Amino acid sequence: MSTDQHKIPQATAKRLPLYYRFINNLHHQGKLRVSSKELSEAVKVDSATIRRDFSYFGALGKKGYGYNVEYLLSFFRKTLDQDELTKVALIGVGNLGTAFLHYNFMKNNNTKIEMAFDADKGKVGEEVGGVSVYHIDQLEDMLKNTDVAILTVPSSEAQNITERLVEAGVSGILNFTPARITVPDHVRVHHIDLSVELQSLVYFLKHYPLDEEE
Amino acid sequence: MSTDQHKIPQATAKRLPLYYRFINNLHHQGKLRVSSKELSEAVKVDSATIRRDFSYFGALGKKGYGYNVEYLLSFFRKTLDQDELTKVALIGVGNLGTAFLHYNFMKNNNTKIEMAFDADKGKVGEEVGGVSVYHIDQLEDMLKNTDVAILTVPSSEAQNITERLVEAGVSGILNFTPARITVPDHVRVHHIDLSVELQSLVYFLKHYPLDEEE
DNA sequence: TAGAAGTCGTGATTTTATTCACATTCTTTA
DNA sequence: TAAAGAATGTGAATAAAATCACGACTTCTA
Ligand SMILES: NC(=O)c1ccc[n+]([C@@H]2O[C@H](COP(=O)([O-])OP(=O)(O)OC[C@H]3O[C@@H](n4cnc5c(N)ncnc54)[C@H](O)[C@@H]3O)[C@@H](O)[C@H]2O)c1
Ligand SMILES: NC(=O)c1ccc[n+]([C@@H]2O[C@H](COP(=O)([O-])OP(=O)(O)OC[C@H]3O[C@@H](n4cnc5c(N)ncnc54)[C@H](O)[C@@H]3O)[C@@H](O)[C@H]2O)c1
């Protein structure tokens, strides 16, 4: 599956799910075609950037016409592996973890949280958002064929749990703890650091010119 | 406050709160000095990048020595306006909103969620995580001197609420809804799109070589 | 059917960010 | 006090991303 053309820029790859969602919306609205300009207004990405992004996958559009929504949609479905479901485990059924379980990222996705783990006996055995919560001691037993984990434990536990996840064969971690975890080269971590996001927004507000740019 | 040197690259500005947090940790641990190399290992940012980032603020370190933790800390405190508290409002006390209210980003921060709003009468009047929940109809009345809003409403409400926030004088919005909202130039929006984050992680796992590069 | 309007795909350019690599300076120690 | 070692700050190089700008082709309209 790790096909040749991993020459897609990372910045592009990060935008693909966004495009996918909006194209899906358009489809539901019954739109038949769309231009890079329209799409640009909807997703707030420069239209030239959109055309460039799409062009890495070949000629998806028609000059003078734009893009066929149906075609684009089927292309993205294929590319983002809509069909092949990625199993996700969530570790730490606290405030954040619970919110994620209720949401479960299922709107138009290729991912599903299949199980959750917690150290708190009070939570073990419950179902949250339709997902069973197991005890963290059972992690190694239960975690089969699970590629991705969402980490929402206290930051002090993050590194320890990470090592167990890696050992159990997880290859991608979405880390919501403020800890910067260390992993082997073959594991990919995306840090989502909500406090940093808030603080950097505040920094931009205070230090960057109010009008123009961005 | 919007000082001259807004010539700090955006990429640098986004890392500042991260640095700040780790320096704070070091300080608590009683460390007196730190090198860019050590810091690099902790925050997973190349050491040259760290030195470059710091250098935008002048010479914060000493050659052959490294950085004095205390000095660095006081510098960051000043720079990130630790003293001046930024008031934040949260709109939408649902799954995510509730989690944020309980957390309240107060660990070492310059931000505080001071009030929350929801359309659900059942939630109005409650206190969640020590924050009072008001009815969304009261938004314009209550929202004074609030610069930043966190948006955790259903995506269909996002644009509408955004317009009211902007009208009420908010200049920064942290948007957790999948909707890409439209704002005037003087308002800054940071989108945090959790589904996209998860999907793009999956995409990277499937399409990018397993070893090397992160 | 012809001309106008619209839009893509992409070379070229520009902008932004990262990384290399080293002269310089500080610390430490004997 | 001198020599070895450590680590900064930064010019230069490189890499990555965004944007410009236009030729080529499509569609629409009269
Ligand atoms: N809640 C937020 O809004 C928010 C915002 C930013 C960052 N974070 C970070 O996200 C993480 C989770 O935050 P939270 O508010 O949900 O915390 P929380 O305390 O509500 O939840 C943590 C959960 O992890 C469980 N846990 C503890 N040790 C464990 C272990 N060894 N194995 C398995 N489970 C374990 C706890 O029982 C608890 O249910 C924290 O690292 C926090 O810093 C949270
Ligand atoms: N929960 C998650 O894990 C998660 C993940 C990704 C994205 N999101 C996005 O975050 C947003 C919130 O998600 P959630 O799971 O918390 O949803 P939710 O339905 O639990 O919460 C939404 C809250 O907004 C309130 N609300 C509705 N209309 C309102 C209005 N006009 N004014 C004020 N409040 C109003 C509702 O009463 C409810 O309390 C959604 O847009 C969702 O797509 C959530």
CA distance B16 to B75: 11
- Asked if the structure places residue A207 within a domain, the reply is no
Is residue B116 domain-shared with residue B55, that is, in the same domain? Answer: no
Cα A40 off chain centre by: 21
- Asked if the structure places residue A127 within a domain, the reply is yes
* Interface-testing mutation among A165, A181, A195, A213, with chain B (most B C-beta atoms within 10 A): A195
Is residue A43 domain-shared with residue A109, that is, in the same domain? Answer: no
Across residues B21-40, what is the average pLDDT?
Answer: 95
B94 is in an annotated binding site: yes
Most confident of A100-114, B108-122, B130-144, B200-214: B130-144
Q: What is the phi/psi pair of residue A5, to 5°?
A: -70, 65
How many domains, in total, are found in chain A?
Answer: 2
Across residues A4-23, what is the average pLDDT?
Answer: 88
Q: Is A147 on the interface with B (CB under 8 A)?
A: yes
Residue B213: the pLDDT is 35
> CA–C1' span, A125 to D10, in Å?
58
CA distance B21 to B155: 32
Residue B81: the pLDDT is 73
| CB neighbourhood size of A19 (10 A) | 22
Atom of ligand 2 nearest to the CA of B195: 6
| Per-residue flag: B213 CB under 7 A of strand C | no
Is residue B68 domain-shared with residue B20, that is, in the same domain? Answer: yes
Q: What is the CATH number of the domain that holds A101?
A: 3.40.50.720
- Asked if the structure places residue A213 within a domain, the reply is no
Q: What is the DSSP letter of B22?
A: H
> CA–C1' span, B53 to C30, in Å?
37
Which residue segment(s) compose the domain that A186 sits in?
86-196
Closest chain A residue by Cα to residue B94: A99
Between B1 and A200, residue with greater pLDDT: A200
The pLDDT tens digits for B80-99 are 877 788 999 999 999 999 99
3-class SS at B4?
A: coil
| CB neighbourhood size of B73 (10 A) | 18
Q: What is the DSSP letter of B89?
A: E
- Asked if the structure places residue B119 within a domain, the reply is yes
Residue B24: the pLDDT is 94
Residue A7: the pLDDT is 80
Quote the ligand 1 centre to B100 CA distance (angstroms): 12
Q: What is the CATH number of the domain that holds B56?
A: 1.10.10.10
Residue B209: the pLDDT is 66
Is residue B10 domain-shared with residue B43, that is, in the same domain? Answer: yes
Strands B148-151 and B172-175: parallel
Across residues B47-62, what is the average pLDDT?
Answer: 96
- Asked if the structure places residue A172 within a domain, the reply is yes
A198 vs B21: CB contact, 8 Å cut-off?
A: no
Residue A107: the pLDDT is 59
The pLDDT tens digits for B165-213 are 999 999 999 999 999 999 999 999 999 999 999 999 999 998 886 553 3
Q: Are B67 and A160 in contact (CB under 8 A)?
A: no
Is residue B191 domain-shared with residue B162, that is, in the same domain? Answer: yes
Residues touching ligand 1 (Cβ under 6 Å) are A 91-97, 117-120, 136, 152-155, 157, 161, 176-178, 194-195; B 99-100, 102-103
- Asked if the structure places residue A210 within a domain, the reply is no
The pLDDT tens digits for A33-76 are 999 999 999 999 999 999 999 999 999 999 999 999 999 999 99
CA distance A152 to A157: 10
Q: What is the phi/psi pair of residue A140, to 5°?
A: -65, -35
Is residue B64 domain-shared with residue B114, that is, in the same domain? Answer: no
Q: Find the length of chain A.
A: 214
- Asked if the structure places residue A185 within a domain, the reply is yes
% of chain B surpassing 90 pLDDT: 84
pTM value? 0.94
pLDDT at position A209 over 80: no
A200 vs B81: CB contact, 8 Å cut-off?
A: no
Is residue B93 domain-shared with residue B66, that is, in the same domain? Answer: no
For residue A10, the number of C-alpha atoms closer than 13 Å in the C-beta half-sphere is 9
Closest among A57, A56, A50 to A75, alpha carbons compared? A57
pLDDT at position A125 over 60: yes
Quote the ligand 1 centre to B95 CA distance (angstroms): 15
Residues touching ligand 2 (Cβ under 6 Å) are A 99-100, 102-103; B 91-97, 117-120, 136, 152-155, 157, 161, 176-178, 194-195
Is residue B99 domain-shared with residue B150, that is, in the same domain? Answer: yes
CA distance B166 to B183: 8
| Ligand nearest to C-alpha B96 | 2
Is residue A47 domain-shared with residue A137, that is, in the same domain? Answer: no
Is residue A93 domain-shared with residue A74, that is, in the same domain? Answer: no
pLDDT at position A144 over 60: yes
- Asked if the structure places residue A186 within a domain, the reply is yes
Across residues B42-51, what is the average pLDDT?
Answer: 97
Q: Is B155 on the interface with A (CB under 8 A)?
A: no
Nucleotides of chain C within 7 Å of a protein C-beta? 5-11, 16-21, 23-27
The pLDDT tens digits for A78-95 are 888 767 889 999 999 999
CA distance B109 to B140: 26
Given B26, B57, B79, the domain boundary residue is B79
Q: What is the phi/psi pair of residue B188, to 5°?
A: -110, 130
Is residue B75 domain-shared with residue B91, that is, in the same domain? Answer: no
Is residue A72 domain-shared with residue A129, that is, in the same domain? Answer: no
